[in-house]
């Protein structure tokens, strides 16, 4: 059985998909949930913020287990010695550094929100590195630091393309992104979930798919790749960022299509043919944040409606991510209604313990 080491901030979805695809999986991560422990042969905690520490630990574990490495959220570009199953870290520095990324888009003539030299009117301020809507703010007159960039604010809705890139770049799914969804106790631009597939007109689907494929070809990436967009009121898409790794939409896509994204990723990286699956239903994955200090009073492991399931006794502070909620349905609105119902179920089950 082939061994895989997954390295990232939060890796449960990748580990689960790899496990179900028949791999022996090890995890090096910041967050250890009860379902992560189930799907991993062994879980190792990232104990220090230093990227050098993570790199050294990843090299050690990959050598110990003779494992190929999958680099996930937060550590996409650490240059491990082991064989990387995915995008080569040396090729994606210009992707994870947003300033370099936008400069390359500008040279290629691809659309993105205009960069500004100062806060002038309504703008977005975001860190040069990072994702998930963390530390992104809408400002009007404030001053931002040197590790941030200033960008035109485009009013519209966020969405994404999920691709598998091998010999060709294939769009697997278009997804709606939920940012700052109050039903999940999120605000601002914080990622709070997504629904799959994106329910929009065919013309817009073609525009998004074409841009996503062009972007993958521009940066010569491979494996699972995501592209985030914002679509303005005139249905014009603008590229926001690119994720050269598995994305938060993984669960929703697998629920929607009855497919293993890790298996498709593996086949693409190995240069084998990938059959593009079709959506069978709408599905979603949503992140519930704590609205106050909360203690997990009940073991909910095994409930199919939830993922990233916390251990009993875990205490979360306000704004901490608590649990993921999974749903499928006949429409986008149906899925979102079920998400609220399952949020209420989670809170009821925890309160009644």
Total domain count, the chain: 3
**Pair 181, 146 in one domain:** no
CATH code, 339: 3.30.470.20
**Pair 324, 274 in one domain:** yes
**Pair 292, 218 in one domain:** yes
Contact 7, 75 (CB under 8 A): yes
Q: Which domain holds residue 306?
A: 156-351
**Pair 77, 107 in one domain:** no
**Pair 179, 226 in one domain:** yes
Q: Is 200 part of a structural domain of the chain?
A: yes
Contact 163, 225 (CB under 8 A): yes
Q: Model pTM?
A: 0.93
pLDDT, the chain, mean:
93
pLDDT digit of tens for each residue in the chain (353 aa)? 899 999 999 999 999 999 999 999 999 999 999 999 999 999 999 999 999 999 999 999 999 999 999 999 999 999 999 999 999 888 898 999 999 999 999 999 999 999 987 776 778 888 877 655 454 555 444 555 567 888 999 999 999 999 999 999 999 999 999 999 999 999 988 999 999 999 999 999 999 999 999 999 999 899 999 999 999 999 999 999 999 999 999 999 999 999 999 999 999 999 999 999 999 999 999 999 999 999 999 988 889 999 999 999 999 999 999 999 999 999 999 999 999 999 999 999 997 65
- What is the residue-wise DSSP string for 71-106? E-TT-TT---SSPBSSS-GGG-HHHHSHHHHHHHHH
**Pair 196, 223 in one domain:** yes
Contact 290, 350 (CB under 8 A): no
CATH code, 18: 3.40.50.20
The residue assigned the tokens 């650490």 is 78
Element (H, E) at 107: helix 98-108
């Amino acid at each position: 059985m082939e061994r895989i080491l997954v390295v990232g901030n939060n890796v449960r979805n990748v580990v689960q998909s790899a496990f179900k695809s028949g791999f022996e999986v090890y995890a090096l991560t910041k967050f250890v949930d009860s379902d992560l422990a189930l799907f991993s042969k062994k879980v190792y905690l990232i104990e220090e913020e230093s990227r050098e520490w993570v790199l050294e630990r990843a090299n050690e574990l990959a050598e110990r287990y003779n494992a190929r490495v999958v680099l996930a959220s937060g550590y996409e570009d650490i240059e491990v010695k082991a064989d990387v199953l995915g995008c080569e870290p040396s090729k994606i520095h210009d992707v994870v550094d947003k300033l370099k990324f936008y400069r390359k888009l500008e040279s290629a003539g691809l659309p993105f929100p205009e960069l500004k030299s100062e806060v002038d009117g309504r703008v977005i301020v975001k860190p040069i590195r990072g994702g998930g809507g963390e530390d992104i703010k809408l400002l009007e007159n404030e001053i931002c630091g040197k590790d941030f960039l200033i960008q035109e604010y485009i009013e519209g809705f966020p969405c994404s393309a999920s691709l598998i890139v091998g010999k060709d770049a294939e769009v697997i799914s278009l997804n709606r992104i939920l940012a700052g969804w109050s039903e999940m106790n999120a605000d601002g631009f914080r990622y709070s979930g997504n629904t799959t597939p994106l329910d929009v007109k065919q013309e817009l689907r073609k525009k998004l798919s074409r841009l996503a494929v062009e972007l993958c070809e521009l940066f010569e990436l491979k494996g699972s790749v995501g592209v985030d967009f914002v679509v303005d009121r005139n249905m014009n898409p603008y590229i926001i960022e690119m994720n050269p790794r598995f994305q938060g939409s993984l669960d929703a896509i697998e629920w929607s299509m009855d497919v293993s994204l890790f298996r498709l990723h593996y086949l693409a990286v190995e240069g084998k043919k990938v059959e593009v699956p079709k959506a069978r239903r709408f599905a979603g994955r949503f992140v519930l944040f704590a609205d106050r200090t909360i203690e997990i009073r009940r073991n909910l492991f095994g409930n199919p409606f939830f993922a990233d399931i916390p251990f009993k006794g875990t205490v979360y502070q306000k704004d901490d991510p608590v649990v993921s909620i999974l749903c499928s349905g006949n429409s986008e609105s149906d899925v979102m209604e079920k998400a609220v119902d399952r949020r209420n179920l989670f809170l009821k089950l925890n309160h009644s313990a």
